[in-house]
């Protein structure tokens, strides 16, 4: 692991230009920072887009028109090399909320004229001073709930505007000790190894205790919700999820990195699994579906303490034959 200050500066400058742009100027703001072959991955209904023009036209310009006076409120900012490609590439990660006044419809979601917050996390790959690819994951159902259009039945966890890390120390604009990032990545890898098995022979709470603090917090997406402590996480999500799915594939990531006490990963998809039990109040289809996920972690000591999760549930349910967005708003993706 090395110093990532140059890559961080590229993304910070890019965000300043992008966040200050509106309407037709969004593409121009992006074009100065992204490569001609820029690859952007976004949650349903956007999918994969290419080039500044497409991303500006399809995502950023409509969002900025809907959420006026848009602010980027970051809780995490970090950078690191990618363990998946043997640390050849460098990625810069930003997580937080995009806050604005919800003044016009977006994706069929009704405006409220009030403050609205879109949870987001973005991984940006920086090469030779340009952003060459990105994964921009965002919790659309969370915005729908704020607009009074809850697309899901009651969830097992808690619904809320999610705060940043407990220590409020995750805006890593300055360089961090490399050994701390290495410890964080090791803790994440150990957790992934246990999670990928599902059949460790240990009771679920004992399995989780190998890698998590007892007072861990799992900040899950709308539709599942947040939960606190190993006991409640096991009851309110992990056990429920394992009971609902079988044939979970091995985990696959595009990027997995860490800096300081923070780290995370994303996949496209991360894994597939087949619903054979009811999940999120919907019946099982028996048909395998993709899970596109971003996970961000905070390490405390040698275990994980907090986890922010973005799951493209709209995409997953689309693979199961249900267009949640269309069903709720009347507008298909």
Question: Cα–Cα distances in Å, from 243 out to 7, 42, 215, 251, 274?
Answer: 42, 29, 23, 18, 11
Question: Cα–Cα distances in Å, from 14 out to 111, 140, 285?
Answer: 28, 24, 43
Pairing verdict, β 262-266 and 255-259: antiparallel
Sheet strands side by side (includes 115-127): 47-50, 34-42, 130-138, 115-127, 90-102, 67-81
Distance, CA of 205 to CA of 289 (rounded, Å):
26
Sign of CA dihedral 312, 170, 74, 31: negative
**Segments of the chain with pLDDT less than 70:** 1-2, 196-201, 332-333
149's tokens: 């259009």
Each residue of 226-257: b (16+ CB within 10 Å) or e?
Answer: bbebbebbbebbbebbbebbeebeebebbbbb
pLDDT for residue 43: 96
Distance, CA of 60 to CA of 134 (rounded, Å):
14
274's tokens: 């087949």
> What domains can be seen in the chain, in order of their start residue?
5-146 (3.10.450.50), 178-329 (3.10.450.50)
Distance, CA of 195 to CA of 272 (rounded, Å):
14
- Write down the pTM of the prediction: 0.95
Closest CA to 107 of 166, 77, 149: 149
Distance, CA of 87 to CA of 1 (rounded, Å):
8
Asked whether 91 and 4 are in contact (CB, 8 A), the reply is no
- 326 Cβ partners below 8 Å, 6+ apart? 332, 333
pLDDT for residue 224: 96
pLDDT for residue 32: 95
Distance, CA of 58 to CA of 304 (rounded, Å):
37
pLDDT for residue 195: 74
Gap between the terminal Cα atoms of the chain? 41
pLDDT for residue 202: 79
pLDDT for residue 332: 59
pLDDT for residue 199: 55
Question: Cα–Cα distances in Å, from 6 out to 12, 50, 79, 122, 222?
Answer: 10, 24, 10, 18, 35
Distance, CA of 102 to CA of 117 (rounded, Å):
9
Geometric angle at alpha carbon 139, from 137 and 142, rounded to 5°: 170
Distance, CA of 34 to CA of 136 (rounded, Å):
14
Distance, CA of 169 to CA of 180 (rounded, Å):
14
pLDDT for residue 248: 86
Phi/psi at 15 (nearest 5 deg)? Answer: -60, -40
Report CA dihedral (167, 192, 3, 9) to the nearest 10 degrees: -70
Give the Cβ contact number of residue 172 at 10 Å.
21
41's tokens: 């991955």
């Amino acid at each position: 692991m090395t110093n990532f200050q140059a890559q961080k500066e590229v993304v910070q400058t890019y965000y300043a230009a992008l966040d200050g742009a509106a309407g037709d100027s969004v593409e121009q703001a992006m074009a100065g920072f992204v490569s001609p072959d820029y690859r952007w991955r976004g949650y349903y209904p956007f999918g994969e887009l290419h080039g500044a023009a497409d991303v500006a036209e399809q995502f950023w310009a409509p969002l900025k028109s809907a959420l006026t006076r848009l602010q980027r409120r970051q809780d995490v900012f970090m950078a690191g090399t990618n363990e998946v490609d043997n640390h050849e590439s460098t990625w810069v990660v930003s997580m937080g909320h995009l806050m604005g006044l919800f003044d016009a419809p977006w994706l069929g979601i009704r405006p409220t004229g009030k403050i609205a917050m879109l949870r987001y996390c973005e991984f940006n790959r920086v090469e030779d001073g340009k952003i060459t690819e990105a994964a921009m994951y965002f919790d659309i159902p969370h915005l729908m709930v704020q607009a009074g259009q809850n697309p899901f039945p009651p969830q097992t966890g808690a619904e809320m505007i999610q705060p940043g890390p407990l220590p409020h120390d995750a805006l890593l604009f300055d360089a961090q000790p490399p050994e701390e990032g290495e410890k964080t990545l090791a803790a994440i890898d150990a957790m992934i190894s246990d999670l990928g098995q599902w059949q460790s022979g240990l009771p679920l709470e004992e399995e989780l205790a190998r890698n998590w603090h007892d007072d861990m917090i799992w900040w899950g997406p709308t539709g599942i919700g947040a939960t606190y402590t190993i006991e409640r996480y096991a009851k309110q999500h992990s056990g429920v999820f394992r009971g609902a799915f079988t044939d979970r594939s091995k985990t696959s990531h595009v990027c997995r990195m860490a800096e300081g006490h923070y780290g995370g990963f994303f996949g496209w998809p991360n894994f597939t699994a087949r619903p054979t039990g009811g999940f999120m109040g919907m019946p099982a289809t028996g048909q395998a579906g993709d899970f596109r996920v971003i996970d961000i972690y905070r390490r405390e000591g040698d275990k994980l303490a907090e986890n922010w999760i973005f799951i493209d549930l709209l995409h997953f349910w689309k693979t199961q034959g249900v267009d949640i967005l269309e069903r709720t708003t009347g507008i298909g993706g």
